[in-house]
Amino acid sequence: MELLIKGGRVLDPASGLDARMNVLVRDAKIAAVGKNIQVPTATVLDAAGLVVAPGLVDMHVHLREPGFEAKETVATGCAAAARGGFTSVVAMPNTNPVTDTPEIIRLVQEKAAPTGVHVYPAGAVSVGEKGQQLTDFAALKAAGAPAVTDDGNPIQNNALMRQALQQAKALGLPILDHCEDRDMVANYGVNEGAVSRQLGLPGRPAVAEELQIMRDVMLAEELGARVHICHISTARGIDIVRQAKARGVAVTCETCPQYFWLTEDEVLRQGALARVNPPLRTAADVEAVRQGLADGTIDVLVTDHAPHTAEEKARPLPDAPSGMVGLETALALNLTGLYHSGLLSLLEVIGRMTCRPAELLALPAGRLCEGARSDIVIFDPDKPWTVDCNQFASKGHNTPFQGKNLRGKVKMTISSGKIIYQEG
Ligand code: DOR
Ligand code: ZN
């Protein structure tokens, strides 16, 4: 199939391209990007007034299959991805059973194939995410895992983490590192601070995240290994990464919209809907996340899309699971919060949602240039709309952004040359 996308503002953050261009898609590849492309046989898509960018890449998504199909399935999660402009997602392995063998990696890949979204299942670092015995990294990599992670179940044992970083280095396999000291956070539902005191609940202290970031930065530095810090949320955590980068440590990090949009006060307003790990922090942390994005310390924007059922999220704060959905609001939250606010350029925001994560994980994604896979999102960067979780394709309606007025709306998502989402 040939598609000629005409007259849009074409972005390719990896090369710095930001210009009015035409894009010719021929099946699974981009055949040409240029000012004067004429192909009489092609189906024409008028993109005047719209942005044409590489399909978005989310390196932190919970698709919940196998095992938690009441929360989400690969099919519904991928429909949500397509609706949000994402054509590539990395699926987290905290499934049931845990994605710790090539068989389960393949099961997720098979479920994903008909959806049209490129799903890259990450493998677990430890068997069953129990933090005791390492998985077979080489086998997981051979099955297609772009990274390993025990996301949600941080590794407590320092010796095991050191061994994991060593093995990952030998294989060139990134470790995606959810940093929180488990003994310090237990199953608590809110940041330790003013709000936890007001609610009379024990909290998750910022230092629990910072200690593990520091530990893993030190281990990476000692070993000359790479580590990627997941969903960074605290000012001091960002400072640790900033200083480590300045010393040449191979550390990268990501954050999510909730960490630069919301503070711990949201828990007072929305209860369990604002419960997430790591927790929403203070206004000073929110400002530090914005600074970390502005100065490039934070490499990647992810969602940590974490669907849960309405019944689970209706429980009292201490008993409800942590997490919020994000695939269908991320682009607008990032555009409104970072681009329309003047903090980052459009190319910078889109680069952190496309080529940057693709580079970190060596995914064949995130580019809009001749020869690249024809994964494309077309969006109106200015269009105002109101978040309504009842319109979500995700099974999870657990968003703290319900009713929020945002700018930036996905019009069409194309994956390997096929239209997988179209507005209206
Ligand atoms: O809030 C969270 N939810 N943080 C995690 O690390 C895991 C995730 C989940 O699986 O629900
Ligand atoms: Zn996590």
What CATH number should be reported for the domain holding residue 6? 2.30.40.10
Position 122 confidence tier, pLDDT thresholds 50, 70, 90? very high
Are 203 and 252 part of one and the same domain? yes
Ligand 1 site, residue 323, Cβ cutoff 6 A: yes
Ligand 1 site, residue 94, Cβ cutoff 6 A: yes
pTM metric for this prediction: 0.99
Residue 274 lies in a domain: yes
Residue 295 lies in a domain: yes
- Please report which helix (H) or strand (E) contains residue 168, including its range: helix 158-171
> Is 177 in the active site?
no
Ligand 1 site, residue 153, Cβ cutoff 6 A: no
Are 48 and 66 part of one and the same domain? no
Q: How far apart are CA 384 and CA 374, in angstroms?
A: 28
Residue 408 lies in a domain: yes
Contact criterion met (CB below 8 Å) for 97 and 66: yes
CB burial readout 39-53, b (16+ within 10 A) else e: eeebeebebeebbbb
Position 57 confidence tier, pLDDT thresholds 50, 70, 90? very high
Ligand 1 site, residue 411, Cβ cutoff 6 A: no
Are 38 and 84 part of one and the same domain? no
Residue 208 lies in a domain: yes
Residue-wise pLDDT for 156-171, tens only, equals 999 999 999 999 999 9
Are 169 and 246 part of one and the same domain? yes
Residue-wise pLDDT for 318-371, tens only, equals 999 999 999 999 999 999 999 999 999 999 999 999 999 999 999 999 999 999
Q: 1 pLDDT exceeds 90? A: no
Domains of the chain: total = 2
Q: Which of 304, 305, 395 to mutate to test the pocket of ligand 1 (most atoms within 8 A of CB)?
A: 304
Q: How far apart are CA 242 and CA 264, in angstroms?
A: 24
* 278 preceded by a cis bond (ω within 30 of 0): yes
Range of the structural domain that residue 158 is part of: 55-361
Q: How far apart are CA 329 and CA 257, in angstroms?
A: 9
The dihedral sign for the CA sequence 381, 385, 391, 397: positive
- Cα of 308 vs centre of ligand 1, distance in Å, is 10
